[in-house]
């Protein structure tokens, strides 16, 4: 079996292809109509800007204004490059978010290494983010098998854990909180008989590192989010909230099969401090329509 080690730019494409079998994020299948878009009344909850990566690339200020107008309160960035967030210097980005009424909550850095971590952490702090998130096994350890369309991790779990812990220690020293974000493979036993997320929980310092649980990917792995809240109470500080349709694809919150109400009842056990709508790809809606539907779904489920 040949595994491909992925750089961060390739990661974004890989996750999209893995989940939906190709196609543009903005295209709708021929003959299908968009899901009706409900109204949004209140400002609460967060949005992972990765959902809007295509439109953010061409018009970040306009998109951020629309996110605020749709009712979101805070955002997670996934667009740091050359010292800037979406083409804006950290202080400029922070100021613009404040101007449109959004709060910088967390920022994903899939290309973080032991060499560039200090610079990225400093930029995240300057932009006002509270959380620095490692979204995949860092430094080339994220893999994709094209034959089976399987996401995974190269190297030993201990080796990857050492890198994550060192980055997390740098975050703690700088006064910013560090989280690790999962996909499905961390919740499945590997060839050595280790479940990576269990190892990460057991071999990390909660004063340095905690976790951002992606509820879709945990469900796809066949694991139970609530069981993990009880296994490691207080350590799942953030959630990515996205639903799963009948084909196992990403779906707007409240339109799929994931029982978010059951999960939400255990937020205190989880230690959840914030949550973010994320949808890696859309099918019957544009990304902006999807996040509007999701915001209404959050309210109906009981998210605040």
Would you state the pLDDT for residue 206?
98
**pLDDT tens, per residue, the chain with 304 residues:** 344 555 544 455 445 445 444 333 333 333 344 444 444 447 999 999 999 999 999 999 999 999 999 999 999 999 999 999 999 999 999 999 999 999 999 999 999 999 999 999 999 999 999 999 999 999 999 999 999 889 999 999 999 999 999 999 999 999 999 999 999 999 999 999 999 999 999 999 999 999 999 999 999 999 999 999 999 999 999 999 999 999 999 999 999 999 999 999 999 999 999 999 999 999 999 999 999 999 999 999 999 9
Query: Which domain range does residue 258 map to?
Result: 4-19+39-301
* Domain presence at residue 245: yes
**CATH code at position 175:** 3.20.20.150
Element (H, E) at 66: helix 60-69
Give domain status of residue 166, yes or no.
Answer: yes
Query: 89 in a domain, yes or no?
Result: yes
Bridge partners, residue 142, by sequence: 153
Does 27 reside within a domain? no
Record the pTM: 0.89
pLDDT number for residue 149: 84
Q: What is the DSSP letter of 131?
A: E
> The dihedral of CA 229, 232, 233, 234: what is its sign?
negative
Please report, in angstroms and rounded to a whole number, the separation of the first and last CA atoms in the chain: 45
Spatial CB neighbours of 95, under 8 Å, sequence gap ≥ 6: none
How many domains are there within the chain? 1
30 located within any domain = no
* Structural domain contains residue 32: no
**Is residue 169 assigned to a domain?**
yes
In a domain, 116, yes or no: yes
């Amino acid at each position: 079996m040949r595994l491909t080690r992925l750089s961060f730019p390739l990661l974004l494409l890989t996750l999209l292809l893995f989940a939906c079998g190709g196609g543009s994020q903005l295209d709708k299948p021929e003959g299908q109509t968009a899901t009706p878009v409900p109204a949004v009344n209140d400002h609460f909850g967060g949005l992972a800007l990765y959902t809007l990566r295509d439109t953010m690339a061409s018009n970040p200020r306009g998109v951020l204004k629309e996110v605020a107008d749709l009712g979101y309160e805070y955002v997670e960035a996934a667009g740091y490059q050359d010292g800037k967030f979406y083409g804006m210097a950290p202080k400029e980005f922070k100021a613009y978010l404040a101007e449109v009424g959004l709060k910088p909550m967390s920022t994903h850095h899939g290309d973080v290494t032991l060499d560039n971590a200090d610079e990225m952490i400093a930029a995240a702090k300057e932009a006002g983010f509270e959380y620095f998130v490692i979204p995949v096994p860092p430094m080339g350890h994220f893999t994709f098998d094209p034959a089976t369309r399987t996401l995974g991790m190269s190297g030993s779990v201990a080796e990857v854990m050492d890198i994550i812990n060192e980055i997390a220690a740098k975050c703690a020293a700088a006064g910013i909180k560090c989280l690790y974000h999962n996909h499905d493979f961390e919740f499945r036993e590997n060839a050595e008989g280790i479940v990576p997320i269990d190892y990460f929980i057991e071999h990390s310092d909660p004063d340095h590192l905690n976790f951002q649980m992606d509820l879709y990917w945990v469900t796809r792995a066949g694991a139970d989010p609530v069981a993990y809240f009880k296994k490691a109470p207080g350590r799942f500080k953030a959630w990515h909230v996205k639903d799963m349709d009948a084909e196992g694809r990403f779906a707007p919150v409240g339109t799929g099969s994931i029982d978010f109400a059951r999960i939400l009842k255990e937020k205190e056990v989880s230690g959840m401090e914030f949550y973010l709508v994320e949808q890696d790809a859309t099918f019957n809606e544009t990304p902006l329509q999807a996040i509007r539907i999701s915001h209404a779904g959050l309210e109906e489920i009981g998210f605040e």
